[in-house]
Every structure is written in structure tokens, then in C-alpha cells.
Amino acid sequence: MTTYSAVRTTGIYCRPGCRAKPLAENVRTFELAAAAEAAGYRACLRCRPYRVAGTVPDEAPELVCRAVQLIIAGVLDESGEAALGARLGLSARHLRRLFHEHLGVTPDQFARSRRAHFARRLLDDSDLSIADIAFASGFGSLRQFNRAMHEIFRASPRELRDRRRRTDRLVADGGLILRLPFTTPYDWEAMSAFLASQAIPGVESVEDGVYRRTITLDGDPGLLEIGSGGPDHLLLHAHLPYWEGVIHVVERAARLVAVESNPDVRMPGAWGPFEVAVQAVVRDQLPPEDAYDVLRKLVEVYGVPVAGLGHGLTHAFPGPEALTEAELVGPLAQAVASGHVVLDHDAGIGSLETVPGVSANAARQIAMRLDGQRSKELSLPNSAAVDRAS
């Protein structure tokens, strides 16, 4: 678990390993960077704590962890604290009390810190314009963005960009490259091998240690590429139709390759829960070669064609509405499309087993993969081997 050290005399907080050596009596500790910021401290310019992941305290209740995952998914950005609390069966006031007790921040403060840290990374690593970075990070306006960056980093976005180091900038041709930091140990070779074994033909591929997949954003196609980057990070190369809300794309990519998981247990997540469910049902009913052929045909017949990508990528995976009449997975697609089954972090085995064609084994596989995304990691992020999930 990451513990941040804040120095009362300087007003600065650092991550573990920083070379600063303050007097012990002047140091306060925080388990979240957002909590240090809420207490009035700013990030150290030397160790740059916004570039590493933090974790929810181990003793935090499951309800708080669920709320954190919903915030990461963008629920708070869209609807506010009252709607987030209602989603969890709580009042906004009680939700704030839980967050303050266990995390040291309110839900809004946590979300704002997360957006600001992501924006700071984009300012360092990319050449996106200030306006593009504001909306890519989930801020609703430039004024809101500028105010948050001033409050958290004590400088304007322009000043922060001018401070970036020569080695920060990641040059990309026609795309956006970002680091996905992880906490060691992390075995990318094992993770990519697992992803290759589960790859949906036409939608995903793994070649020469690089994982690629098609995605859609509001119906428009995009491409993600993830590969080894360094001893403490992977590299994500994103080709997207627009940059607005890219913070959520990057978070989902991080969960997919489990860089946000507990370092002791690396359970790969999923880009789309419905994809995981379809794969589990098909692979449960058919031998490997037949399952591969059925998945390929489902993609070719019902998926959205995406031309010119290469690497065996030809389609975006179809949504549940498109597969309601498909063999083997039609009942599942109908249940998801109608809302009878909700495939999220709280998807229960019991509700899945009520769907025709979904066996107890398939339900367990689905729940395990979806629950593998319920990481306690907060920020981009973090995470050894796929712990024999394969």
C-alpha cells in the first residue's frame, strides 16, 4: 500500500522513495494523495507522486470500494454525489461521511484529484492542447480545469507544461501514447500470453508482445495498443475518434491488463463485460477450436466492420442488442439488453444462472473476471503474473 509523507514546514507531500529527508516530527502520513491535497499539501516536484498509483486502505469497507469503482467509471462526473449515493442505497451525506472516515476526502475531492492527476500526466507526456486535456480528463469547462490545477498543483496548466522534463514527452504519430504505471512485480509476458489465449478473433490480437483491440466510442471505432514500456510501466498507444473523456478509456485499459490489481493476485479484467460473458458461455459449451470458430462468426456476422487496421483486427464486438437472435448466446444477450441481468462489478452468480444457456461454471467464470476488475487501485495505474488465472 502506498503511503504519502507530507511535511508541515514546506506544505509538500511525497511518495515513498523520495530523496527528501524531513525531520520526523514535521511529517504527517496519508494513504491517498487526494487526502494530502485536501489537507492543503501540494505534490513534490522531485518525486511527482501524481505519476504513481495509490491504493484504498485495506480496512476500507466494500461499500467504499464500490463507490470508488463507480467514480472511476465516471458516475460522479455524470450525476453528482446524490446520484452516486442513490446507486449504493445511501444518502449523499452518509456517503461523504464514509469517504471522510476511511479515505480522508469527500467523493468530489477524490474525483477532482484523480482528474487533475490524469491531466498533469497528459501535460507531461503529450502535446495535446490545454483545452483538449481539460475535456480528456473529465473536466466540464476550462475554468473548472484551471481552478482545480491551481488549487492542487499551485500553478496554471501552461506553467505545469513548461516544467515537464525532457524525457517526459512521448512522441506519437496519429495517436496518443501514455504510460500505464504498475507496482512490481508484474509479468507482462504472462499477462499478454493469457490475453492471447482468450483473444476474440477479429476484435483482439497479440503479436510480438503487443496487445491490440478495437473499441467503439459512441459508435465511432478506435484502436488500443498495449505493450511493454519499462521496469515500472506499460505503454498504451490509443487511436481514438476524439479525446473527450479519454480518462475513462485509459482506466478501462489499465483494468484490462490488471495494472490496477493487487500485486499478489493479477486477475485480468475486461474491456467490455458483455464480451467476457459471451466468451464464457461459448467456451463453456464448445471445445476450444469450435469455440474459436463460433466467436469469429459472431464477430463477422453481427460485429461492426472496421477497415484498415491490420493485425487481424476487422470488427468491433457486437452489443447485446445485435446478438439477441444468435445461437448459443441469444438468451444471454436478451437478458442483458432487457436489463434483466446487469453485467457490472456486482454481477452475481445467482442472477447469471437464471439465464438459459449459462451454466454454473460459465456464471462463475463471468463473475470471476468481472470481480477481477474490482481493484482497490485508484489511479493509473498499477500491478505479477496472471496468478495462474489461465
Mean of all residue pLDDT scores within the chain = 87
pLDDT in tens, 284-320: 999 999 999 999 999 999 999 998 899 999 999 999 9
pLDDT tens profile 196-238: 999 999 999 999 999 999 999 888 899 999 999 999 899 999 9
For residue 7, list its beta bridge partners: 12, 27
Helix (H) or strand (E) holding 75: helix 75-88
The pLDDT value recorded for residue 124 is 93
244 by DSSP, 3-state: which? Answer: coil
Rounded Cα gap, residues 37 and 39, in angstroms? 5
Q: Where are the alpha helices (DSSP H) in 224-309?
A: 246-256, 273-285, 288-302
Q: Hey, what domains does the chain have and what are their CATH numbers?
A: 1-165 (1.10.10.60), 273-371 (1.10.340.30)
In this prediction, residue 173 has a pLDDT band, given cuts at 50, 70 and 90, of low
Which one, of 308, 280, 304, 314, lies nearest residue 294 by Cα?
Answer: 280
- The model's pLDDT over 39-89, given as tens digits with 9 standing for 90+, comes to 999 999 999 999 886 677 777 888 998 899 888 888 888 778 999 999 899
pLDDT the model gives residue 374: 43
Residue 216 CA to its chain's centroid (Å): 16
CA distance 108 to 315: 38
Edge-to-edge strand ranges of the sheet holding 27-30:
27-30, 4-7, 12-14, 42-43
